[in-house]
Structure 1
Amino acid sequence: MTMRVGQATRSTREILLGAAPLVFGVFVFGISFGVLSVAAHFPGWAAVLMSALVFAASSQFAAIGVVSTGGGILAAVVAAALLNLRYIAMGIGLARSLPGGRFLRVLTGQLAIDESYALAVGAGEPGRPDLRTFLISGGFLYAGWLVGTLIGTVVGPVLGDPRRLGLDAAFPSGFVALLWPMLSRKHALRCAVGGAVAALALAPFTPPGVPLAGAALVGLWLAR
């Protein structure tokens, strides 16, 4: 794979240092996810397995949020799947950089999240994310998310009701934190406002999980 001049000589240490602030945020967010999963009566092992297989904070918080408010598994899966549709675009962007056959590409593609993709794009050439940065930073972020989730599931039963510590606010505040940097673009702002209006309109008379799924559908429609 061709890399931009100067980026090819970046050491593993430099890549790790560049990713460290993001990893810390992912780690803390993972702890919140683990705590809230236990509070929602989700088995700790299942929360850790979910983090290992899904590795997508927004989708995982959405799924647990639906379950914790009485929604069914189907509504949780639909909400999570809709939020993960953006990874199709990431996959297309990474396709030229990922090595090996189909199975290896699927495994390495598991590391694709907003943060690892952004770091790889910043380190690579236009239209070709840097593979080395993607793999190293993605692995670092994956470990932080998984360890954070594990710690959260362990300390969750000790903490008890997460509302005492304000952790119940992690659902809305987490989504706002993920969304806020994107709202400087008019197109993204239109999608966010449309989704919010749809969720508020559906909330009074639909089961838990449906407003979130509806908001995601409206956002996708406006983004077309």
Structure 2
Amino acid sequence: MIWERWRRGLAVGAGLAAAAFALAVTFGAFAVQAGLHPALAIAMSALAFSGSAQFAFVTSLSGGGGIGAGLGAATLMNLRFVPMAAACAPALRGGRLRRGVEAQLVVDGSWAAAQRPDGTVERDVLVPATLVQWPVWVGGTAIGALGAPSLELTHRLGLDAVFPAFFAVLLVDVLRQRPALRPRIAAGAAVACASLWVVPVGVAMLLGALPALLRGRRGE
């Protein structure tokens, strides 16, 4: 039966959802404080469903980078899903429409949990794991957006450190798994830090990606 096959995926999704709930609440609160209407924050979680891209957008917006810089930062964050979805393609089922819908279920935690030793992807883990996480992410965002705490309370609870801490975790994970990228990351950090003297935070985030993009165009 399908529930027997999906049991592991549901368990994985429940664990990931529990960890993501607090992050979703924080995103909703900070999105509203950055100037987004609560409905827009909730819609972003429902449609984008990408914590890193959503955080990048709001961080850029609150730093004065504007909508364009925020969308650019979010797009750069989500480019990683192109190879991830391609790796999952053989495991997806049905025609083009159904496979396109199933490809939307490729998110970081589910994708990692669904990996087999031979490099293939276990669909019956990927799909249920994401289906559990999505409503929790959207619901957590709604709670944070509709009941956003004041800036003073946010500071007291240390929630204002969630954004930089989130990106720090992503950075440490990349450094651990792909040490060859360290020179590019260091160059990007140097460019971003230098840019902060002359441009808003959101624009500096985009400029920090230039070293990696330039080296990528050279095939390095």
TM-score with structure 2 setting the length: 0.88
Aligned positions of 1:122-137 closer than 5 A: 124=116, 126-137=118-129
Task: Please report how far the alpha carbon of residue 201 of structure 1 lies from its aligned counterpart in structure 2 after TM superposition.
Answer: 1.7
Q: Is residue 213 from structure 1 mapped to residue 206 from structure 2 by the alignment?
A: yes
Partner of 1:191: 184
Q: CA–CA distance in 1 between the matches of 2:38 and 2:44?
A: 10
Q: Is residue 73 from structure 1 mapped to residue 42 from structure 2 by the alignment?
A: no
The match for 2:95 among 81, 84, 101 is 101
Asked if the contact 1:98/1:105 (under 8 Å) is kept, the reply is yes
Q: Is residue 91 from structure 1 mapped to residue 85 from structure 2 by the alignment?
A: yes
Q: CA–CA distance in 2 between the matches of 1:79 and 1:36?
A: 17
Q: CA–CA distance in 1 between the matches of 2:215 and 2:160?
A: 30
Partner of 1:151: 143
Partner of 1:4: none
Structure 2 unpaired stretches of 5+: none
- Tell me the secondary structure at the aligned position of residue 129 of structure 2: helix
Q: CA–CA distance in 2 between the matches of 1:112 and 1:22?
A: 14
1:129-174, CA deviations, whole angstroms, 9 ceiling, x for partnerless residues?
0111110001112222111111111221xx2112232212122111
Q: CA–CA distance in 1 between the matches of 2:212 and 2:19?
A: 26
Partner of 1:15: 9
- Tell me the secondary structure at the aligned position of residue 147 of structure 1: helix
Task: Please report how far the alpha carbon of residue 192 of structure 1 lies from its aligned counterpart in structure 2 after TM superposition.
Answer: 2.6
Aligned positions of 1:143-182 closer than 5 A: 143-156=135-148, 159-161=149-151, 162-182=154-174
Asked if the contact 2:10/2:128 (under 8 Å) is kept, the reply is yes
Q: CA–CA distance in 2 between the matches of 1:16 and 1:141?
A: 9
- Tell me the secondary structure at the aligned position of residue 147 of structure 2: helix
Task: Please report how far the alpha carbon of residue 85 of structure 1 lies from its aligned counterpart in structure 2 after TM superposition.
Answer: 1.0
Q: CA–CA distance in 2 between the matches of 1:76 and 1:146?
A: 20
Asked if the contact 1:64/1:76 (under 8 Å) is kept, the reply is yes
Task: Please report how far the alpha carbon of residue 189 of structure 1 lies from its aligned counterpart in structure 2 after TM superposition.
Answer: 2.9
- RMSD across aligned C-alpha pairs, in angstroms? 2.1
C-alpha change, 1:190 and 1:20, in structure 2 (3 Å) is: farther
Q: CA–CA distance in 2 between the matches of 1:43 and 1:154?
A: 9
One-letter amino acid of the counterpart of residue 175, structure 1:
F
One-letter amino acid of the counterpart of residue 45, structure 1:
A
Count matched residues.
213
TM-score with structure 1 setting the length: 0.86
The match for 2:197 among 204, 214, 217 is 204
Partner of 2:52: 58
Q: CA–CA distance in 2 between the matches of 1:144 and 1:194?
A: 37
Asked if the contact 1:59/1:79 (under 8 Å) is kept, the reply is yes
Q: Percent identity?
A: 34
C-alpha change, 1:171 and 1:219, in structure 2 (3 Å) is: farther
Q: CA–CA distance in 1 between the matches of 2:213 and 2:108?
A: 17
Task: Please report how far the alpha carbon of residue 68 of structure 1 lies from its aligned counterpart in structure 2 after TM superposition.
Answer: 1.1
Structure 1 unpaired stretches of 5+: 1-7
